[in-house]
Amino acid sequence: MQEYPAYYPPLPPVSTGIRGLCPRCGEGHLFDGFLTIAPRCDVCGLDYGFADPADGPAFFVICFACVPAVILALWIEVAFQAPYWMHLITTLPFLLLTCIPPLRPLKGWLVASQYYFKAEEGRLDLDYAARRDAASDTRTPS
């Protein structure tokens, strides 16, 4: 009897990635540590070698999560002319709470999106370039 590979319906990257689940089966764990991606899914065996979110999570955190922390620090400084120790007990914890927790869900979402959309490294289509150049050579000048 011939065995067929298991069929995995496409899962939405947001729901699987944010929860840190395997983008293929939705059951296995995506992470081995806080931000370390596991080598493979412990349920379906999907190799996570394709996953390369690079600096994407950090970029999103810097652009969106750090803004409220900076606004808070500026407001405290302008409104109260607070000493440095006041910033250490107000702004620093707020900055850490808005920057560190979103890293893992964002990284999971980016990895799941790479799997869902079959993202891969860009390549040049040299055949297309040759066809384009050949087509431009056959045109008559006006």
51-54-56 Cα angle (round to 5): 110
| CA gyration radius, the chain | 24
Tokens of 10: 């496409």
Contact 48, 111 (CB under 8 A): yes
Residue 137 is predicted with a pLDDT of 66
Task: List the pLDDT tens digit at each of the 142 positions of the chain.
Answer: 556 668 899 999 999 999 999 999 999 999 999 999 999 999 999 999 999 999 999 999 998 888 888 999 999 999 999 999 999 999 999 999 999 999 999 999 999 999 999 998 877 777 777 788 777 766 555 5
**What is the token pair recorded at 75?**
């407001």
- This prediction's pTM: 0.80
Separation between Cα atoms, residue 52 and residue 68, nearest integer Å: 28
Closest CA to 107 of 44, 33, 40: 33
Single out the residue of 98, 105, 115 nearest to residue 18, CA to CA.
Answer: 105
